[in-house]
A and B are shown apart, each in its own frame.
Chain A
Amino acid sequence: MSKRHALIFISLTLMLIGIFLASLTLGAGSLKIGQVISHIIHPGISSMEGDIIWKLRLPRIILALLVGAGLAVSGAVLQGMLRNPLAEPYTIGISGASAFGVSLGIVLGVGTSLLPVFSAGAAIITMSLVYIIACRKRFSASSIILGGVILSFFFSSCVRLIFSLAKTEKVHSAILWLMGDLSCADPILIKIISFIILGAIALLTIFSRDINILTLGEEKATYLGINIEFLNKLLFITCSIIIGAAVAASGIISFVGLIIPHLMRYLGGADYRFLIPASALAGAIFLTLCDTLARTVILPLEFPVGVITGIIGGVFFLIYLFLSKTKKVF
């Protein structure tokens, strides 16, 4: 590991601790940093502050950390695997699919607690479809993008069809979900999500050197001894699982998977042994920051977090493009 990479990791870790504590103190009913720390050290004490920290804020922050890390890592991996700078979790068709699943659920009148199931179900069906399309074409990068983009368009048309048929108030709640929401942080959900996302990130880290080679193109990677079909399938399935879990837990949160890997690549280079853990940390920081803003800026109301990530991410990415005009973005 180079000095530069070490420096980046140390800064990211400090930022992560900072945003974690800040996010615990901020919100409706501000707490002091000392209170927060003492409640974390002594979890048994039951008080109102303790309940706010342990039952409301902490689960939500942990969910934000996990989803942010998962989205950023899967974005980084998909960009390398598909060798496309615009690849992100939703390029492979998941966004359209879960939007469709949720819209369908709302129109059928199922309860909000069942919506994640509809979302995940639709995501899994889409992944399988993209997978089948890609398998027929030797599982190459272009067939995955093609399949994903086509299904994306198809499902977004289906969503509009459903919206045009459904009642207005139902459409409203569907739209809120589509904008991303971390408020349904249920302890069991968090346990499942953390198991899936952390496991998947660990697996991708093991294959980071293979991803480096894959960025040279599928032909050259074969000449360096990589079984392309196997690696593409492994990466695609692992990323899909991360995305499926993230979407089921929090709706559609855009931009994290796009900007975080680009920023990390700009700071520390393209080596995936660096890029995967750095993107995980930075994605976790970014989404927690955005969610803290989303629930504190217009108290007592809340923004959907996807709106914040979209606005901050969009502005940030534009600045980055302007500043880096002499260097290649990719």
Chain B
Amino acid sequence: MNSLEIKNIVFGYHKEEVLKNISFSVRRGDFLGIVGPNGAGKTTVFKLISKLLKPWSGEILYNGTNLNNISLQKLARSVAVIPQILETPFSFTVEEFVSMGRFPHLGRFQSLKKQDYKIVEEALLLADVSHLKFHRLSELSGGERQRVILAQGFTQTPQLFLLDEPTAHLDITHQVGILDLIKRLNKQNGLTVIVVLHDLNLASEYCDKVILLKDGKIFKAGSPWQVFTFNNIEEVYKTTVVVKENPISSKPYCFLVSEEEKQRR
């Protein structure tokens, strides 16, 4: 069954078209990666499917219902969105911050109940940040902070998880740690995941399906082996690459080649 269906969407800022007729669908339990060069429209697609922006034309269906007909609050009960930049300017504690994920499930005069606290505890445990519960956000390292942000997403009890560059600015330990965690939820709980990634090799390693965007259009969509061929990558990124198989996971891996090496050949 399709969790999300994007049909012929066109969108732009001011008068300039950024996305030109994009269509794709995401099935329940998919792990979809969206890649492409800077300015290709990755984050714009992301903001359209999370209802932050409205398409100029075309429609987006979530579980068969047009996004226009779903209120923001109702959507937030089953879709968790982790944007690229998240402000955490105030000195909230980790527990206070993570509990905010329950907000869409509460009525105006309702407060958190036992069951909500249980969900918060589970999310903290899942993201491996229970020990930081009473720390203030300003005291956390970059990797811990990202885990706490994910934990907040988990408390929304989502069916669909949207992440924009969740591994930006993290070291390899945390990059792998964060994506492993999301992958585990995808496999065990059937969580549908759409993730925007800059790093082609991380996308190749974790995603079952990949969409490669170029100038606001889908250049190629399919499995990592179908999308990450040196032809496709060289045409979209205008950069010479060599694609080989990762000996452990058998996924495609892109090697970059410097100008100096190219001239030596």
Most chain B Cβ neighbours within 10 Å, of A85, A215, A223, A226: A223
Could you tell me how many residues of chain B have their Cβ less than 8 Å away from some Cβ of chain A? 34
Partner-binding segment picked from B14-22, B69-77, B220-228: B69-77
In the complex, B138 has a CB within 8 A of chain A: yes
In the complex, A328 has a CB within 8 A of chain B: yes
Most chain A Cβ neighbours within 10 Å, of B81, B86, B87, B96: B87
> Closest CB of chain B to A139's CB: distance in Å?
15
Q: Are B101 and A224 in contact (CB under 8 A)?
A: yes
- Which residue of B is nearest A214, CB measured? B87
A219 vs B164: C-alpha distance when bound (angstroms): 12
Interface size class of A (residues with CB under 8 A): 20 to 34
CB 8 Å contact bits of A215-231 with B (1 = contact, 0 = none):
11101101111110000
In the complex, A43 has a CB within 8 A of chain B: no
CB contacts (< 8 Å) of A227 on chain B: these are 72
A227 vs B109: C-alpha distance when bound (angstroms): 17
Partner-binding segment picked from A55-63, A64-72, A264-272: A264-272
Q: Are B87 and A220 in contact (CB under 8 A)?
A: yes
In the complex, B104 has a CB within 8 A of chain A: yes
In the complex, B83 has a CB within 8 A of chain A: yes
Contact of A226 among B72, B90, B101, B109 (CB under 8 A): B72
CB contacts (< 8 Å) of B109 on chain A: these are 206
In the complex, B103 has a CB within 8 A of chain A: yes
In the complex, B52 has a CB within 8 A of chain A: yes
Contact of B89 among A206, A215, A219 (CB under 8 A): A215
CB contacts (< 8 Å) of A327 on chain B: these are 91, 138
In the complex, A233 has a CB within 8 A of chain B: no
> Closest CB of chain A to B75's CB: distance in Å?
7
> Closest CB of chain B to A261's CB: distance in Å?
11
A222 vs B79: C-alpha distance when bound (angstroms): 12
Q: Are B92 and A225 in contact (CB under 8 A)?
A: no
